Structure 1
Amino acid sequence: MPTTNRKKQKQGRDTAVQGTNDSSVVSKVSAAAQGYFHDVFLQHFVCKVARRAPLINRGYYVRWRAVDHCVRRFLHVTENCPKRQILSLGAGFDSLYFRLRADEALDRAVVFEVDFPDVSRRKAALINSNITLREMLDAHLPSLTGPVYVSSGQYHLLGVDVREESQVEEALGAAGLDWVAPTLILSEVVLTYMETQWSDAVISWVAKLLPQSLFVIYEQIHPHDPFGQIMQDHFLKLNSTLHALRQYPDSAAQRHRFLDKGWEQCVCLDMNVFYLRLVPEEERCRVESLEPFDEHEEWHQKCSHYFILTACRGSLMAQALLTHAPVSPVPSICPSWSPIALSVRPIPVCMEGLGMATSLVGPGQVLLTGGSSRGGRGAVTRILFRGQEGWRSVSVEPSLDLGVRLYHTVTCFPGGGIVVYGGRSSPLNPIGGLFRVTLDPSGPPGPLDSEDRDSVKLCVERMVCTGDPPPARWRHTASVVSHKGECFLFVFGGKNESEVVLGGGYFLCQHQQRWTEIPVEGAAPEARHSHSACSYQGGVVVFGGLNRGGVPLGDTVLLRPNERGFCWERIEVRPSPVPRYSHSAHVIGEKLVVVGGVWLHSDGVPGGVIINLTTHSSVEFSLDTTSVPWPLMLHSFCSEHTDPEEPELLLIGGGGNCFSFGTHFNRQPVTVDLRPVLG
C-alpha cells in the first residue's frame, strides 16, 4: 500500500478514535444528571444534556466509580508527600482536574492531560470560553499555542500524540512534570485503540521514566463470547478497532502484560468484582434505586467485559493498588466440565424475541406469547409446529387480547388448559390477573400441523379468582404441583416495581379458581428472580436465580409433597454447579437439564449443566455453536422439550441490549442435541 494511502487510513482511524471522546462525555453527563455521581463540570463540555438509557447510565457510573476509587486512593497514600502528580493519557473532555480542585483534593498535586492536538485544542477553547471553568485556573494566563494549550499552577493540557514517546517526554518535561515525584498515570479506554506494539511501548516507557508511579487503566476484555463479538463489531464499524483484545483477551493476560513491561505488582478486577466487592452495599442500593431497571443480564455482561487495573512501581505506590474485600459476595466456582460439547443447530424459521413465554400444547407444538421483538414490544402470539417438512410458524387469533407483557409465565395443566400469569409492560407496570387459554375447537378444520394451515384460533378467558392473590410480579416461575389429588399452580419468586426480589410461594387451585394456603414446612429458599422451577414428583425443583444482592445463585431446592402439604428441602449437589440466572431447565427422567443463563464472569458463561436428582451429582457441558452463523445469546429466551421420545431441546428467542453497542436478537430457534448425555 502506498505511503500516502497508509497515512490517510491512519488519520481516518485517529479521527474515529477522537469521536469516541464526544460520545463518551455525553454519556457521562447523562449519568451525572440522573444522580449516579456528582460532577457539575462535565456539562460544560457538551452542547446539551441528552438522557441515556438506564443501562448506559449504570455502565458509566461503574467506570466513574472505579477510576475515582483509584484516584482517591492514590491521593490518600501520597497525602504526606511534598509533591504528587496525575498524568492522564488520552484525557479527552474529562473533568477530573476541575472536580478535584473543587473538592480541595489537589493539595501539593498537579494534573497533566495529554491528548491529540485537535482534542486538546477544542478542550482549551471550551475552558477559555466558559467562566466557570476559567475561574478554576490561575488568573492572567499567558496566551499559549501547542503542544501546551492550557498551563496553570496545578493543571497542564498538552496536545501530543501519546504514541510519540520522545515528543510526549519532551512536552511533559517542558510543562514541569517531575519524573521522580509519585505519579498516577490514568488511561480510560485509550491504549486499546492503538496498535498493540504502540500501547505496549507506552506501558514500558512510563515504567522506565517514572520510578514511583501507579498506572490505572480501564478497558475491555473477553472478545470471543457472543457479547464480546458484538462489542468488537461495534468498534470495528466505528473504525476504532480494539487492538489490545487480540493479544490480551482477559484479566490474567492484562496483568502479565504489565508485569512483563516493567511494573512490579499488578491487580486486575473485572467490573462485576469491583462493583460487588469494593462499592459499599449502601451505595449500590442508592444507585440501583435511581431509575427503573430490568436489564440485569446486560448489566452483568457489560461489567464482565470491562476491567479496572492498577500496576505499581515503588513501595509507596504498592499501598495504592486495588485490594480485594475481606468477604466476597461472589463465590469462587471451579466447575467439572464434561469433554462432551452438545451440538446446537438453527432451524429455518424466522422467530425472535426477548422475555417471551412458551408452553407445549402437544407433541411438536409450542405456543409463544408476549415478549419484545425488533419492531418493539408486543411480539405476535404464534404457534410453532413440527411437521413432516420440519418446523413452521403459524399465527394465532386470540379471542381476547393478552396485551403487551414480558417475563410472564405460561403454564400447561394436565388434561388441557393453559394459565397465563404475571409479566410487565414496563419496569414500572407489572401486570396482574390471570388468563385461561385453550385451542379453539371451532377453528379451521384439519390437523394443527397441516402444511396449508396459516392460523389457529385461541380461546382466551379472564380468570376471576377468589382468595388473597400474590403481589403482581414478573421474572417469576409458575409450576404445576399436586396436593390431595388436585392440581395447583405454584407461583414462586420474581420481582416487581417496588421489590428487588420477591420470596414466598403461592398456590392457586385452578378448578376452584381460588388462591389458597397450603402448609409448607422447612426453611424457604432465598428470595430470587429469573430462576427456574420444574414440576417434579408432585412438587417442584428450583434452581438458580438472582438474589437480593444482585448475585447469581447456584442452589438446588426441592418442594416435596407430604401428608400435610409440602416441605422445602435443599439438596447439596457435588460438584457445585456454576451459579446462573435467566436460564431454562427441564426435568427429563431423574435429571434436571439446565441450559444457558448469565454468570458474573465471561470465561464462565454457562453452556449447561445436568443435575442428577437421585445421586445429587452434576456435570457441566459446553455447547458447540459452530453451526449457528450468528452469536447465540442464551438469556431472556425460552425452551421446550418438545417430544418425550426425543432427547432434544428447542430454544426460542433470546438476546439483549449489549450496552451501547446495539440490541442483539437470536435470529432463529435452535435445537440442542442431548443424546450424548441422556442417551
Structure 2
Amino acid sequence: MPEAPKPQELRKIEKDKRRKKFEDLQVQGTNNSSIVSKRSVEIIYKDISPPGEWFKHFVPKGKRRSPAINRGYWIRMETIRQVIYKIMEKTDGNVNIINLGCGYDPLPFQLLHMNYKNITFYDIDYPELVNNKLEMIKKSPEILELIGESDGSKDLGLLYNTDNYKLFGCDLKNYSLFEKQLSLLKEGVNIFIAEVSLAYMHYDDANKIIELASKVPNSHFVILEQILPNGKYDSFAQKMLAHFSKLRSSLKCVEQYPEKKDQIARFKQYYKNAEIRDLFENWNELIDDDIKVRMESIEEFDEWEEFIMFCQHYVIVHACNDDNMVYKIPSKHVDLKENSSLKLKLSDIPSVELKFPASCAIDGEVFVNGGLFQVREDSTLKNSQKIETENNPLGRMCHSLTEIKGSKALLIGGRTRPGHLLKDVYKFDGKKWDKLKDLPFGIYRHSVIEINDEEVLIIGGQADSSRLPIYNHIEEETRFIEYDGDINFAQILSFGITYDGEVGYITGGITDKHLPSFNDKLIEFTINDKFNYEIIQQSPMLERVDPKLVKIQDEIVVVGGVNFNQSLNQNNLIISIKQDSILGVPIDEDIWVNKPPLFIGHTVVDNKILYGGAVCYSFGSAYSYNYYIE
C-alpha cells in the first residue's frame, strides 16, 4: 500500500487548492470590470458598432468610462470582429467560433443578429461563470429568440445546446475535458478566440490550449494579449503589471513573450503561419476612415498620445495552417545607430505631477502655468514651486507660454475640456497676469515664437484656417501671413519646434486629428513677408505626436512624443538629427529602470525636459521626472 500523506503534505495540498481557487476567482473577476467598460462603449458608439444592445443583458447598470478607455475597448472588440470577418470572407461552408474564456461577451448574439449564416458559436469558460451567464441568457427573450431553446444535452460540461449556440463549462487547465469538448465541433472552419483570457495562465498551460486547438482541422487562432515592447520598466508597463498583480491576477504570459517576435515564435510552434499587429496598427489598417470621423462627432477626443501608447502594448496574433492571412501592409519599424555624445541626466528641479502645462524661461528662471493633474490647474510655478500671482488665467492645458522682450511672457489659448478651445491672451511679468485682447478664434496644441519686439507668430492649433496669425502684444492686434505648399501649418497640432530668431525647424505633429495622420518630415523655415519652408528630412522615426525640439550645438534633438509606427524605447525616445543622419540617443540603464521618462505632455525649456505624464489605460496615471540633456 502507498504510504499515507504526512500532515504537512496534506496541509500543503489543501493550501494549494485554496490558492488555485482564489486565483481562479480573481481571474474571473477581471471579466466584471471589462464587461462594464464594454457596455459603456456599446452605449456611446451604438450607431457605429454592431446593431442592437447586447451587453445590457449582462450589465444591468451601465457606467460611462472616459473617452480614452471607451476607444481602447472599442478597438479591442472591433479588431477581433474585423479579423473574424476577414477570415470568413475567404471561407465557404460552416464556421465555428470558439471563444476561450468567453466571460459575458455577447459576440455570438451580435453576429447572429446581423444574420451571418452558417455560424455556430462555442462559448467556454469556468463552470461557475458560465452558469451565471446561462441564468442571464434565460432571462433575455431577445437572446433566446436568436439562439432557440436548448435540446437538454448535458454531456462534457455542455450547459446549453442549440444548433447555433453552445455554452460549455470548463477550466481550461483541464486539458482532457477541453479536448473532448473539441470533438463536438461541427465540420468546417474553426476560429478560436482568446481575448486576454490565456494571458493569466502559466504560459505552459496556455500553450497546451493553443497546441490542442492547432490540431483541429481548418484551425485559426486569434488571440489578444499584452506585450512589453520596451521591456518591463517603461511607465506604461510598470503600471499595467502592477495593476494585475495587485488584483492577484498577474499576467503570466507577457514576460515570457514580451515582444511581437516572441509571440510569432510562440505560435509558429503549433501553426504553419502566424502574423501580428498591435492595436494601433489595427486602428490604421482595419478601420475605415469614415468610421473614425463619425467617432469624433459622437464623443470629443483629445487623448491620442494615451490611446496610441495603450494600443502599442496590446497585440492581435492570427495563426493558421493555411495561407489565408489577414494582414498585408509591411511594418515601418526603424532601427537607429547610436549617438553617444549626448546624455540624458536627472535635473535638480523638483518633479511635479503635471502634464500638458505651458512653460518658458524668464531671466533664467523656469515658469510654468496650468496643465492637468487631477483637474486643469490655474496655478503658476517658478522652478516647480507654486508662487502667488495676481489675476490668474482660467485653468487650462495644451496652451503656450512664450518669453518676450522685457523679461515677460505671453500666454495664448489652450483648452478646458476636449473641444472647448480658448482664445484669450495674457502678458506675465513674473508676478501678475495682465489680460490682453483676445484672438479672433480659439487655439490649442499650437506653438508660438517671438519674431520681433512687438509680435509673435502662432503656428498650428486652429480649427479651420489656411493662414498663420501674428499677434502684436503692444497694440493687441492680430494680422495674418500666407504660406505656400501642401502642409497646413495653420491646423497642425502638437508638433516640435525650435527657432533662433532667423531659422527654425518643425517636426512631427498631427495633420488630421480624426484619423489621425502625423507629419513625418523635418522642416526648415524662415519668416519675412511670408512663412517660407523646405523639407530637409523625412523618416518614419519623425512621425510623432507631441515631440519637443531643442537645438544643441549643431544637432537638432527630438525629445519624446508618441510615434505612429512603433512604441518608443530606451534607444529612440530621444533622437538627434545632424545633416542627413538620424541617431538614437540611448538612455542610461539606471535612469530607464529607476526613473523612467514619460515624455508625453512634457515641456522643454532650453535643454531642460520638465513634467509630463499620461493615464495608462485603466491602470492608473504615471508621471515623468525632470531631466536635462548635455
Same fold (TM over 0.5): yes
Q: How does 1:192-591 map to 2 (within 5 A)?
A: 192-208=199-215, 210-222=216-228, 223-224=231-232, 225-260=234-269, 262-313=270-321, 315=322, 318-319=323-324, 321-325=325-329, 331-339=332-340, 342-345=343-346, 347=348, 349-363=350-364, 365-374=365-374, 376-378=375-377, 380-384=379-383, 393-439=384-430, 458-464=431-437, 469-482=439-452, 486-494=453-461, 499=463, 504-518=467-481, 520=483, 524=487, 527-548=491-512, 549-562=515-528, 565-573=529-537, 577-591=541-555
Task: Call closer, same or farther: CA 1:434–1:91 in 2, change over 3 Å.
Answer: same
User: CA contact under 8 A between 1:503 and 1:528: conserved in structure 2?
Assistant: no
Give the distance between the partners of 2:353 and 2:135, measured in 1 at CA: 48
Structure 2 gaps, min length 5: 1-8
Which residue is equivalent to 1:91?
102
Deviation at residue 555 of structure 1 after TM alignment: 1.4
Which residue is equivalent to 1:131?
141
Which residue is equivalent to 2:49?
37
What secondary structure, in the 3-state scheme, does the structure 1 residue paired with 2:171 have?
A: coil
Task: Call closer, same or farther: CA 1:523–1:212 in 2, change over 3 Å.
Answer: closer
Matched letter for residue 237 of structure 1: K
Task: Call closer, same or farther: CA 1:3–1:380 in 2, change over 3 Å.
Answer: farther
Q: How does 1:48-59 map to 2 (within 5 A)?
A: 48-59=61-72
User: CA contact under 8 A between 1:494 and 1:503: conserved in structure 2?
Assistant: no
Which residue is equivalent to 2:4?
none
Deviation at residue 88 of structure 1 after TM alignment: 1.2
User: CA contact under 8 A between 2:156 and 2:180: conserved in structure 1?
Assistant: no
More off after superposition, 527-536 vs 404-413? 527-536
Which residue is equivalent to 1:390?
none
Which residue is equivalent to 2:79?
66
User: CA contact under 8 A between 1:638 and 1:652: conserved in structure 2?
Assistant: yes
Q: CA RMSD in A?
A: 2.4
TM-score by length of 1: 0.84
Deviation at residue 171 of structure 1 after TM alignment: 3.2
Give the distance between the partners of 2:333 and 2:349, measured in 1 at CA: 40
More off after superposition, 615-624 vs 352-361? 615-624
More off after superposition, 31-40 vs 188-197? 31-40
What secondary structure, in the 3-state scheme, does the structure 1 residue paired with 2:585 have?
A: strand
Give the distance between the partners of 2:175 and 2:278, measured in 1 at CA: 29
Deviation at residue 170 of structure 1 after TM alignment: 1.9
Deviation at residue 84 of structure 1 after TM alignment: 2.8
What secondary structure, in the 3-state scheme, does the structure 1 residue paired with 2:290 have?
A: helix
User: CA contact under 8 A between 2:521 and 2:539: conserved in structure 1?
Assistant: no
> Could you tell me which of 572, 585, 600 is aligned with 1:635?
600
Give the distance between the partners of 2:341 and 2:130, measured in 1 at CA: 54
Q: Are 1:188 and 2:201 counterparts?
A: no
Matched letter for residue 84 of structure 2: V
Give the distance between the partners of 2:257 and 2:442, measured in 1 at CA: 46
Give the distance between the partners of 2:150 and 2:562, measured in 1 at CA: 56
Q: How many aligned positions are there?
A: 608
What secondary structure, in the 3-state scheme, does the structure 2 residue paired with 1:559 have?
A: strand
1:631-653 deviations in whole A, cap 9, x for unaligned?
42111011212xxxxxxx32221
TM-score by length of 2: 0.91
Give the distance between the partners of 1:93 and 1:106, measured in 2 at CA: 23
More off after superposition, 569-578 vs 419-428? 569-578
Which residue is equivalent to 2:586?
622
User: CA contact under 8 A between 1:638 and 1:654: conserved in structure 2?
Assistant: yes
Q: Are 1:671 and 2:612 counterparts?
A: no
Give the distance between the partners of 1:228 and 1:124, measured in 2 at CA: 36
Deviation at residue 630 of structure 1 after TM alignment: 4.5
1:395-425 deviations in whole A, cap 9, x for unaligned?
3222212111101000011332211000111
Task: Call closer, same or farther: CA 1:311–1:616 in 2, change over 3 Å.
Answer: closer
Deviation at residue 218 of structure 1 after TM alignment: 1.0
Task: Call closer, same or farther: CA 1:139–1:190 in 2, change over 3 Å.
Answer: closer
Matched letter for residue 621 of structure 2: T
User: CA contact under 8 A between 2:188 and 2:218: conserved in structure 1?
Assistant: yes
Deviation at residue 216 of structure 1 after TM alignment: 0.8
Matched letter for residue 295 of structure 1: E
Which residue is equivalent to 1:154?
164
1:45-86 deviations in whole A, cap 9, x for unaligned?
1121111111111111111111111222233322x32x3311
Deviation at residue 94 of structure 1 after TM alignment: 1.0
More off after superposition, 525-534 vs 89-98? 525-534
User: CA contact under 8 A between 2:214 and 2:220: conserved in structure 1?
Assistant: no
User: CA contact under 8 A between 1:625 and 1:632: conserved in structure 2?
Assistant: no
Matched letter for residue 106 of structure 1: K
Deviation at residue 568 of structure 1 after TM alignment: 2.1
Matched letter for residue 212 of structure 2: W
Task: Call closer, same or farther: CA 1:19–1:150 in 2, change over 3 Å.
Answer: same
Task: Call closer, same or farther: CA 1:337–1:414 in 2, change over 3 Å.
Answer: same
> Could you tell me which of 612, 618, 622 is aligned with 1:660?
618
User: CA contact under 8 A between 1:277 and 1:324: conserved in structure 2?
Assistant: no
Percent sequence identity is 24
Task: Call closer, same or farther: CA 1:586–1:418 in 2, change over 3 Å.
Answer: same
> Could you tell me which of 602, 609, 613 is aligned with 2:575?
609
What secondary structure, in the 3-state scheme, does the structure 2 residue paired with 1:87 have?
A: strand
Give the distance between the partners of 1:281 and 1:473, measured in 2 at CA: 25
Give the distance between the partners of 1:503 and 1:268, measured in 2 at CA: 40
